[in-house]
Amino acid sequence: MNTDYIKRANQVIASTYKRFPVVFERGRGCTLWDTEGGEYTDFVAGIAVCNLGHASPEIVRALSRQADTLFHVSNLFYSIPQIELAEKLIEKSFADKVFFCNSGAEANEAAIKLARKNFFDRGEYDRWRIVAMDQSFHGRTFATLSATGQKKVREGFEPILEGFDFVPFNDIEKLEAAVTDKTCAVIVEPVQGEGGVRCGDANFLKQVRKLCTEKGVMLIFDEIQTGIGRTGKLFAYEHFGVEPDIMTLAKALGNGLPIGAMLAKDEAALAFTPGTHASTFGGTPVITAAALEVLKLIEGENILEYCNRTGRYFKDRLLELKEKHPVIEEVRGIGLMLGMKLSKNGAPVVDACMERGFLINCTQENVLRFVPPLVISAEEIDNLIQCLDTVLPMLEKEGYC
Ligand SMILES: *Cc1c(COP(=O)(O)O)cnc(C)c1O
């Protein structure tokens, strides 16, 4: 029974999450089942993690094969899946070198350390500040929460790490003013995820690139949520015709297995010399074998084209809803990273969808976020749209929230 598990969980698991009262037991493709046989279509996908759906047989096979061959060796030695995954990431991106770790926050930690170390190595000892965006999200470790432009993430943990300055997203003039001779890097999510599915303007991102080049500042793209096909390109920066110096990945790279990666151009990456940074589990054979399979599947099965097409269809259907429901203020996003901003708190909509067998997410209190597996079908989208059409009117009722 769900309730027994929930009671046990609440006794022993730190309550850092406000969890929904459901215990998931099994998943396949875009469907999840709970311990009571309840069935759900998953528009959360582990928050943009399971891009190829749950229990993908190819990934299970790649993982099992590697687990049966070599599970783990220290990074004091080489291992084949790590090399192959790095080669694939380099082949598919702007980068020349990869550092592997276990999560998004760690990938951003690596990026922040690398940016600072570059200027230290050049003798520019005062140049360690980083400019980040308001409403950004970069993680929960000390450096990454310090880089996060949301008060609620930092509150209670001060003093935070020194050296982060914040400017409004998509405001090039404020950014120009904030980048000084003490700035080593600018960090941007091409599309803010936790910040409410807010897209970077193509023009803004182009100008950020130009500014960073002119000022000799490193440009870090946090593609932890946008990467690995989520926006319809393998990496979101490909939409905008600009390349960063450093990029971070995690979430969908392992389709649910813990892996993070920091990618960089050689000029930047050279500052990481033996002994300067490390991770025990980073790039371990089992996980990198699975991640390599993820990239091969995305490359081989027209997933990106499908994601573009399905994303456009989904967005159009959400826009149709907007015509009918005044509580919807805006529909935004790209590929299968879509958001619907409401004029009211979205939590009751999330609950009502869940009761009807659809998992969706709400961020920033009033932005419904849709990040399903990239293999979601038009029919599954239609079913969710019908559900939203039914439940949204309850928000219109006076006095609700
Ligand atoms: C999720 C996320 C992170 C943090 O990743 P963790 O694996 O939870 O540490 C960082 N940046 C962005 C943009 C994210 O979406």
What atom in ligand 1 is closest to the CA of residue 226?
13
Measured CA to CA, the distance from residue 197 to residue 213 in angstroms comes to 27
For atom 10 of ligand 1, which residue has the closest CA? Answer: 138
Ligand 1 pocket test, candidate residues 224, 225, 287, 364, most atoms within 8 A of CB: 224
Ligand 1 pocket test, candidate residues 137, 150, 228, 287, most atoms within 8 A of CB: 137
* The length of the chain, given as a count of residues: 401
Q: Which residues of the chain have pLDDT under 70?
A: 1, 398-401
Q: How far is CA 214 from the centre of its chain?
A: 29
189 lines ligand 1 (CB under 6 A): yes
Domain 2-55+304-396 has CATH 3.90.1150.10: yes
pLDDT at 347: 96
May I ask the CATH architecture of the domain 70-300?
Answer: 3-Layer(aba) Sandwich (3.40)
Closest CA to 188 of 212, 153, 157: 212
84 alpha carbon to ligand 1 midpoint, in Å?
24
105 alpha carbon to ligand 1 midpoint, in Å?
6
Contacts of 397 (CB under 8 A, 6+ apart): none
pLDDT at 398: 54
* Helices H / strands E in the chain, number of each: 16, 17
What is this structure's pTM?
Answer: 0.97
Q: Which residues are catalytic?
A: 137, 222, 251
Q: What are the φ and ψ backbone dihedral angles of 142, each rounded to 5 degrees?
A: -60, -45
pLDDT at 399: 55
138 alpha carbon to ligand 1 midpoint, in Å?
6
139 lines ligand 1 (CB under 6 A): yes
Dihedral in degrees, nearest 10, Cα atoms 268, 271, 275, 276: -80
**CA triplet 357, 362, 367: central angle to 5 degrees?**
125
pLDDT at 1: 64
Domain ranges, ordered by start, for the chain? 2-55+304-396, 70-300
Measured CA to CA, the distance from residue 346 to residue 122 in angstroms comes to 49
**CA triplet 154, 160, 162: central angle to 5 degrees?**
135
Span 159-200, pLDDT tens digits? 999 999 999 999 999 999 999 999 999 999 999 999 999 999
